[in-house]
Structure formats: structure tokens, C-alpha cells
Chains A and B, each alone.
Chain A
Amino acid sequence: MKCSEFLHELTNYLDGVIDEHTKVELENHLSWCHNCYVVCDTTKKTIEIYRDSQLYELPEDLRTRLRSAIMTKCQQHRKRGPESV
């Protein structure tokens, strides 16, 4: 397996959606190709860091304000009829 082939399968590999045969080939490649090992490992870390980052959490006060605005507009919409959104 070449590095480009490894990269092509990287997303499937990280998502755990590859067949056993391809997985063995990929892991064999990883065992001797340091560059691909690093790319694979740091890509996995990239995903984990973003997933765990709590980036753009909605603050509770803003959340309440938005929800109340949404529900008020929904009620106005209901009074005006279905064509108004």
C-alpha cells in the first residue's frame, strides 16, 4: 500500500467503517511508515480536540432570550396565518 492509498482510506479508517482486509493492510502500512502514522494520529487528535472543545457554547441567558423570541414570533405567525414565514 502506498501513502496516497493510505490517505484515501484515512477517513474510513478513523470512522471505523472499513472491511477487515483493508484494515489489516492499513495497519501494516502504519507499522512501518512513520509519516502516515503521524498524520493518522494527529488527525485523530484534531477531531478529538474539536469535538471536546466546547467551542461556541450557547450561554444560558442568551439561550433563554432566543427561545422566548422564537416562541413569540411563532405565536405571531400563527395569528397571521401560514403564509407569513
Chain B
Amino acid sequence: METIQNKLEGPVTDELALVRAAKQGDDSAFEELVRRYDRNVFRIAQHITQNREDAEDVVQEAFLKAYGNLQKFQEQSKFYTWLVRIAVNEALMKLRRKKPERTVSLDEDIKTEDDSLPREIADWSPNPEQQYTQAELREILSKTIQGLPPGFRTVFVLRDVEGLSTEETAAALELSVPAVKSRLLRARLQLRERLGRYFQKRESGDGNQ
């Protein structure tokens, strides 16, 4: 079984050395941490907020908060996990400000088990993503994940896009491991079902769906 690759670069032991140097006041060490994780934070933030300007703000605010609170970072978890927790909170706050009518929370109702039973079971074409241009595909993926509740897409992006472990995701989101697993299953199944609209095998002659 193919395991999910971690998108982070560089050895983690380095990370601790950088964090300690930054705590001692070495700004170039902190800048190196920014350089190391800015792309990840941006991706996570845009997945949650679904808005590029908000994601830019979240990147700045998350690193600034990390900088300002560096002395409080206990070094019991990875700096990256701690940073992700800050970034997720900032991103959720942005969403709450924009959509006050909807409760935006990671503790959304867990529906009954039957709820996750797929309704749509048609198979996909082989290499379905190749039916579309890169730009079309990005549009489809973006629109599809946007339809998930924020709590689900946050778990999905941390686990499946960024490659955090279930335990790291739980720590970053302050959720239990079973809660992460449950949300991840639902997120994966919902995305699968929604993507099916674009990727299903088509009957001959039916070019439009």
C-alpha cells in the first residue's frame, strides 16, 4: 500500500536547532523557518479560507504569532505542528468573520454512520484527470473541496495533502485521533463522490456532463 508522502523538506532535527537559535534572537534562523514552511502554511490557509488574499494574511499572521510566542513553544511537539495549529486557528477566524451566519468550527456534528455510505458507485475512467487541462483540473479540485464543511476539508488537507500523520493532525487541530479518522473518512468519501461527476466513465456519445 502506497503511503502518503510528507511534503516537508529538510531534516526535522535541523528544525529544533533553528527554533532554538530563533529563541535566542537570531532572526535569520526564524527567516529560515519561514522559508521552510511558508508554502505549506499558504496551501493549508487557502484550502480552509478558499480565498487567496485571506491566505496571504493568514501566512503573515501565523508567522508573526509564532515569532511573538516563540518563548512559549515547549519543544514537546514539532515546531511545524505548532505552527499549523496557529495557522488553522487564524484561517478559521477569517472564515468566521466572513460567514458569521454559519458556525465555523472543527467540532461539527458527526452524522450517523450510514451517512457516509456512498450513493454513487459508478467507476471512473482510467487516468480521469487527463481528460482536463491543468487549469480545468485545478478549478474542479478547488470547487469540489470548497463544498466540504471547513472541519472536513481541514482534516483532509492536513492528512492527505500535507502528509501529516493522524496523530500530528489530531495535535494540530486539538481533536482526538478517532475524531480525525472519522472526519477524514467522511471527507475522502464526499470528495470521491463529488469528483465522480467529472471523472466517471461516460457512455459513448455523451460528451457533456
CB neighbors of A among B35-56 (8 A): 35, 38-39, 42-43, 46-47, 55-56
Closest B residue to A46 using CB positions? B192
> What chain A residues lie within 8 Å of B56 (beta carbons)?
62, 66
| A72 smallest CB distance to B (angstroms) | 10
| B10 smallest CB distance to A (angstroms) | 16
Complexed CA–CA distance, A11 and B113 (Å): 14
The reply to whether B116 and A50 form a contact with Cβ atoms under 8 Å apart is no
Q: Of A10, A39, A77, which contacts B68 at CB under 8 A? A: A77
The reply to whether A42 and B192 form a contact with Cβ atoms under 8 Å apart is yes
Asked whether any CB of chain A lies closer than 8 Å to the CB of B209, the reply is no
Complexed CA–CA distance, A75 and B31 (Å): 11
Asked whether any CB of chain A lies closer than 8 Å to the CB of B173, the reply is no
| B141 smallest CB distance to A (angstroms) | 5
Closest B residue to A14 using CB positions? B1
| B43 smallest CB distance to A (angstroms) | 5
Closest B residue to A69 using CB positions? B60
The reply to whether B195 and A49 form a contact with Cβ atoms under 8 Å apart is yes
Q: Of B67, B116, B145, B196, which contacts A77 at CB under 8 A? A: B67
Main DSSP-derived SS at the B contact region = helix
| B123 smallest CB distance to A (angstroms) | 5
| B42 smallest CB distance to A (angstroms) | 4
Main DSSP-derived SS at the A contact region = helix
Q: What number of A-B contacts does a CB cutoff of 8 Å give? A: 142
Q: Of B39, B47, B195, B196, which contacts A57 at CB under 8 A? A: B39
The reply to whether A55 and B31 form a contact with Cβ atoms under 8 Å apart is no
Asked whether any CB of chain A lies closer than 8 Å to the CB of B3, the reply is yes
Complexed CA–CA distance, A56 and B31 (Å): 22
Interface residues contributed by chain A, number (CB under 8 Å): 45
> What chain B residues lie within 8 Å of A16 (beta carbons)?
1, 3
Closest B residue to A76 using CB positions? B64
Complexed CA–CA distance, A70 and B36 (Å): 14
The reply to whether B121 and A35 form a contact with Cβ atoms under 8 Å apart is yes
Residues of B within 8 A of A (CB): 1, 3-5, 25, 27, 30-31, 34-35, 38-39, 42-43, 46-47, 55-56, 59-60, 63-65, 67-69, 71, 113-114, 116-118, 121-124, 128-129, 137-138, 141-142, 145, 156, 160-161, 163, 166, 181, 184-185, 188-189, 191-192, 195-196, 199
Closest 5 A/B residue pairs (Cβ): A85-B68, A16-B1, A56-B46, A58-B42, A11-B185
Residues of A within 8 A of B (CB): 3-4, 7-8, 10-17, 35, 38-39, 41-43, 45-47, 49-51, 53-58, 62-63, 66-67, 69-71, 73-75, 77-78, 82, 84-85
